[in-house]
Structure 1
Amino acid sequence: MYELLRNPNFLRLFVGRIVTNAGDSLYSVATMWLVYRLTGSSTYTGIAGFLSMAPSTVQFLFGPVVDRLPLRRVLVGTQLAQGLLVLVVPLAAAFDVLSVWVLLVLIPFLSLLNQPVYPAESAALPRIVADDQLVRANSLFSFAYQGVDAAFNAVGGLLVAALGAVTLFAVDSLTFAATTLLFATLAIPAVDASDRDGPAPESRASRSSTVDHSERSTAASDGGRSVETSAEGSVISYLHDLGEGVAFVRGTVVAKLIVGAVVVNFAVGGALAVLPAYADGLGGASAYGLLSAALGVGLLGGALAGSVVERFPFGRVVGLGNVVGALAWVSAVAVDWLPASGLLFALALVPVGVTNVLEAALIQTLVPDELLGRVTAVLGSASTAMMPVGALVGGVVAGAVSTAVVLVAAGGSLAVLGVYVLVVPSLRRLPPVSNVSTLTAE
């Protein structure tokens, strides 16, 4: 870990991710709670969840853009635009025109601007760290994604109760400003055009185990394509790039994993949408922040455990882990008492955090650099496609029946994923990540 943190480019990317995730956590807590307080309806929080998650389903469209444009410009531009947009809420409140409709219009635009960020960061990591550091790098990034979320979800809940949700939007704009400055100092090596076709899914032999960018193009500091392909900007070329990302994923074990993830994400989308209403019965805004923090703590624990369990067979870790996680999740709903429920929710998501880290390392190790943005975006869109639908359905079901039904269904989906991995031979037999030499499903 220490060696990674001595890498200045990794450190800037990592710190930038921490800062912006802190702001995102405050924004998420403030948004869902403000929608709930303005309407008192889980149906509206379901709609808000749908609008927030729906743009992730088109993340794959940004893959060719990420692979084509300089990564530094993508990161800086998205942070700057989001920082300006979040100021709409405090301005609307200042002029006494804030309503739930302002939020429902704003939410999808902010989410859409965030879609290129994760593929860009994922594409940047293998260019700035060595192959044998990818699992550790992804563990640290999962800490940034989930650990900071856990802390600032709790802080966000307390700040909402103490200061009001609108204040957190103003704070969020400052975090975007700080991240914009950090990302502006990145130097990300470019991928040479001659490597564009890359190796087949079975091999990544062209990648060196160390990072040596001395022979990269002069455009390398932005992390974009080399000059030879800078003129390619046609729609045909874009569609070709997009097709390459989809074609690479087809027929791989990752594609099979997505099938199970779709079920989980549908149910989890519903759970996140009804969490404000569920927390309101346990103590209000502070309870909502603490429950959100518990979910983040679980994902963080799994992320940090990823580098520990990477030596065990991938299939068994994912399969058995999610079955155990399902039992913990359903127990949390049954207990319905905040300290115990929070702990059980956290334990339930540890296997999910482990899975996230191991899958990311698997993909980044075996997918060619020049395809990584496209492949990551395709996988992101496919795996999260049902989350917004789940949020919408969950909000409606909770309004008609109860939040407990939606939450129990989310726990059941973890069991479905675990059993699915254990009964599909090509998934169950997956060895440790370091021993996987191909993504092709047998």
Structure 2
Amino acid sequence: MITNVGDSFYFVGAMWLVYSLTNDPLYTGVAGFVTMVPQAFQFLAGPLVDQWSIQRILVGTQLIQAAVVSLIPIAHILGFLTVELVLIVMPVLSALNQLVYPAQITALPRILDDEELVAANSAFSVAYQGFDMVANGIGGILIGLFGAVALFALDALTFGIAAIVFATVSIPPANTVTADDRPRDELTGADKLADVSTRPLAGDESGAARGSNPLVMDSGGSHIESENTNSYVARMREGMAVIRGTFLVPLLAGAVIANFSVGMILAATPPYADALAVPGALNLIGAAGAYGILMASIAAGGFVGAIATNLVADCRLGRSMVVGYTLAGVLWSGALLANWLPLTALLFALAYIPIGILAVQVAAVVQSAPLAEMVGRVSSVHGSASASMVPIGSLAGGVVAGWLSPQVAMASLGIATFSLALYVLVNPDLREMRAPDRMTINL
């Protein structure tokens, strides 16, 4: 949780710092791009996590991040803080983070019994999303009160504290005798989970059961089969062959559109917040505080949506998508028309509730529709194709915000959600989709 707060602080702080240094939305788009691109390569972290000491990874990455993020306040004090330095620091921090999350999840089966893992993963999910929501808002307010550079100094402190916490946690090493070498009835606790999570399913030597949940990865056990880039590309090709000609193709196209628009608004939010009407009572926090509040509202809506997914779990997905995307488009458009921070923030949060619900439902379809041995391949295609559009969208959002206006770039999400609702309505494969747990692919 501490390191997650640090992550949120440096993202919010860097996006605003880049904008304040340049007053150019194009640079915020570039900042979002270079920050999010490393996420597309997180699959490369698995073999490293397998080979290195988890505790050393966790402690080392936090210490390095603390040192790297300290460059910003040091440069400010010495008088050579530039936007170029910020744009170098951001991807370095993001790249280090790609080791942190797989390492944390890999550690769980080693320190917990199998009956505790579901609760632990749930706690991780709630903690990450919940603290994102809180940290985004607090980060923006702190920027408004003390400036973005002060936030980076605080960020260095959070990484240092996280390193101390990780250093005090006892993480057993991977078993020298693997689960495959012992009878099932001799395994207990984490060893049982390791046996299950590392035993490839029939026909899938790449760990296909991973799914699309970032907390369920190939690094879930104490013995992980290394996956190099060539095998990853091969799995992507197999996944594309599986989904070709199925309803997952138009579903993936919708995810690509949605994530592209999300990238656009991430880049446009700083200049949009700078022009947003703020009540007199909130003048103290300024535009930076408004930015933080807007980011917290978006995170809060997605968080509530993820929790509320079970309320519509039995509804037909096609109908849910039409209604949900239409509702999100109406609320988002209303937020932009309101042009007043309290109402805009409220409507942003409400708009993201159906978006959060549908994101979870689509992920469930990707996990449940293919044959069990193909889930990993299909998830790789879906995850890579959709996630790769966020940094591209961020770059486009910066261009549009600078060329036209931040409001136009922000409107991209409303346009995208309305378009997705219409897209589902006119596409019979999507319109007739049943509840997520009843969807199957007939090969």
Q: TM-score by structure 1 length? A: 0.75
Task: Give the direction of change, closer, same or farther, for the CA distance of 1:70–1:405 in structure 2 (3 Å limit).
Answer: same
For residues 257-268 of structure 1, the aligned pairs below 5 Å read: 257-268=251-262
Q: Does 1:269 align with 2:260?
A: no
Decide which of 349, 353, 374 is 2:352's aligned counterpart.
Answer: 349
Is residue 54–residue 107 contact of structure 2 (8 Å, CA) maintained in 1? yes
Say if 1:79 and 1:173 are closer, same or farther in 2 by CA, change over 3 A: same
Q: Aligned in 2, Cα 1:222/1:199: closer, same or farther, shift over 3 Å?
A: closer
Contact 1:191–1:223 (8 Å) recurs in 2: yes
Larger radius of gyration: 2
Match of 2:221 among 220, 223, 232: 223
* Residue correspondence of structure 1 range 290-305 to structure 2 within 5 A: 290-305=293-308
Instruction: Specify whether residues 416 and 75 from structure 1 end up closer, same or farther in structure 2 by C-alpha distance, changes over 3 A only.
Output: farther
Matched, 1:163 2:146: yes
Moved more, 322-331 or 169-178: 169-178
Q: Does 1:94 align with 2:96?
A: no
In the alignment, structure 1 residue 420 sits paired with structure 2 residue 414: no
Are 1:176 and 2:167 an aligned pair?
no
Q: Hey, what does 1:244 align to over in structure 2?
A: 235
How many residue pairs are counted as aligned between the two chains?
401
* Residues 194/255 of structure 1: CA separation in 2 closer, same or farther (3 Å cut): same
Instruction: Decide whether the 8 Å contact of 1:328 with 1:344 is kept in 2.
Output: yes
Q: What TM-score does the superposition give when structure 2 sets the normalisation length?
A: 0.75
Q: Distance in 2 between matches of 1:255 and 1:72?
A: 40
Give me the identity figure in percent. Answer: 41
List alignment gaps of at least 5 residues for structure 1: 1-17, 208-220
1:285 pairs with one of 281, 284, 288:
288
Give the residue type in structure 2 aligned to 1:265: N
Change (3 A) 1:315 1:175: farther
Which range is displaced more, 119-128 or 152-161? 119-128
Q: Within 2, Cα distance between the matches of 1:412 and 1:126?
A: 43
Q: After the TM superposition, which residues 331-342 of structure 1 pair with which residues of structure 2 at under 5 Å, given as runs?
A: 331-342=334-345
Distance (Å, rounded) in 1 between the aligned partners of 2:108 and 2:61: 18
Alpha-carbon distance in structure 2 between the residues aligned to 1:385 and 1:264: 12
Aligned pairs for 1:308-323 (under 5 A) are 308-323=311-326
* Cα distance in 2, alignment partners of residues 393 and 169 from structure 1: 27
- Over the aligned positions, Cα root-mean-square deviation in angstroms equals 4.1
Alignment map for 1:13-412 (pairs within 5 Å): 18-62=1-45, 78-117=61-100, 140-180=123-163, 181-182=165-166, 184-185=169-170, 191-192=194-195, 196-199=199-202, 223-225=221-223, 238-244=229-235, 247-248=238-239, 250-252=241-243, 256-282=250-276, 283=278, 284-360=287-363, 379-412=382-415
Q: Distance in 2 between matches of 1:369 and 1:80?
A: 40
Alpha carbons 1:64, 1:374 under 8 Å: kept: no
- One-letter amino acid of the structure 2 residue matched with residue 298 of structure 1: G
Residues 194/137 of structure 1: CA separation in 2 closer, same or farther (3 Å cut): closer
Could you tell me how far apart the structure 2 residues matched to 1:182 and 1:99 are? 33
**One-letter amino acid matched to 1:97:** F
Deviations 1:352-385, CA, capped at 9 Å, x for gaps: 2113333455566789999988876654432121
For the 8 Å contact 2:58–2:103, the answer to whether it is kept is: yes
Does the 8 Å contact 1:126/1:364 carry over to 2? Answer: no
Alpha-carbon separation, structure 1, partners of 2:362 and 2:142:
35
Q: Find the aligned partners of 1:356 and 1:367 in 2 and give their Cα distance.
A: 18
Report deviation, 1:143: 3.3
C-alpha deviations, 1:63-83, integer Å up to 9, x for none?
665678777766555444433
Tell me, yes or no, if the aligned pair for 2:106 and 2:220 is still in contact at 8 Å.
no
Q: For structure 1, which segment, 100-109 or 353-362, has the greater mean C-alpha deviation from structure 2 after superposition?
A: 353-362
- The verdict on how the C-alpha distance between 1:267 and 1:361 changes in structure 2, with shifts beyond 3 A counting, is closer
- Contact 2:208–2:373 under 8 Å retained in 1: no
Q: Distance in 1 between matches of 2:298 and 2:221?
A: 34
Q: CA deviation at 1:96?
A: 2.3
Change (3 A) 1:182 1:157: same
Deviation of the 1:393 alpha carbon:
2.0
Contact residue 36 and residue 42 of structure 1 kept, 8 A:
yes
* 8 A contact 1:42–1:277 mirrored in 2: yes
Q: Which has the higher contact order (CA 8 A, sep 6+)?
A: 1
**Residues 1-12 of structure 1 aligned to structure 2 (within 5 Å):** none
Contact 2:202 2:373 in 1 (8 A): no
Instruction: Check the 8 A contact 1:26/1:153 in 2, yes or no.
Output: yes
Deviations 1:157-214 (A, max 9, x none): 111121221222222233334444349545665745996541368xx9999xxxxxxx
Rate the CA distance shift 1:205–1:55 in 2: closer, same or farther, 3 A: closer
Output the amino acid matched with 1:418. A
Q: Cα gap change, 1:441/1:317 in structure 2, threshold over 3 Å: closer, same or farther? A: farther
CA change 1:115–1:424 in 2 (3 A) is: farther
* Displacement after TM superposition at 1:286 (Å): 1.2
Once structures 1 and 2 are overlaid, which stretch shifts more, 49-58 or 183-192?
183-192
- Tell me the residue number matched to 1:10: none
Deviations 1:257-289 (CA, angstroms, capped at 9, x unpaired): 332121122222121111111111224111111
Kindly indicate whether the alpha-carbon contact (under 8 Å) linking 2:239 and 2:377 is maintained by their aligned counterparts in 1.
no
Distance (whole Å) between structure 2 residues aligned to residue 20 and residue 291 of structure 1: 22
3-state secondary structure, aligned to 2:242: coil
> Which shifted more, 426-435 or 66-75?
66-75
Q: Which amino acid aligns with 1:98?
A: L
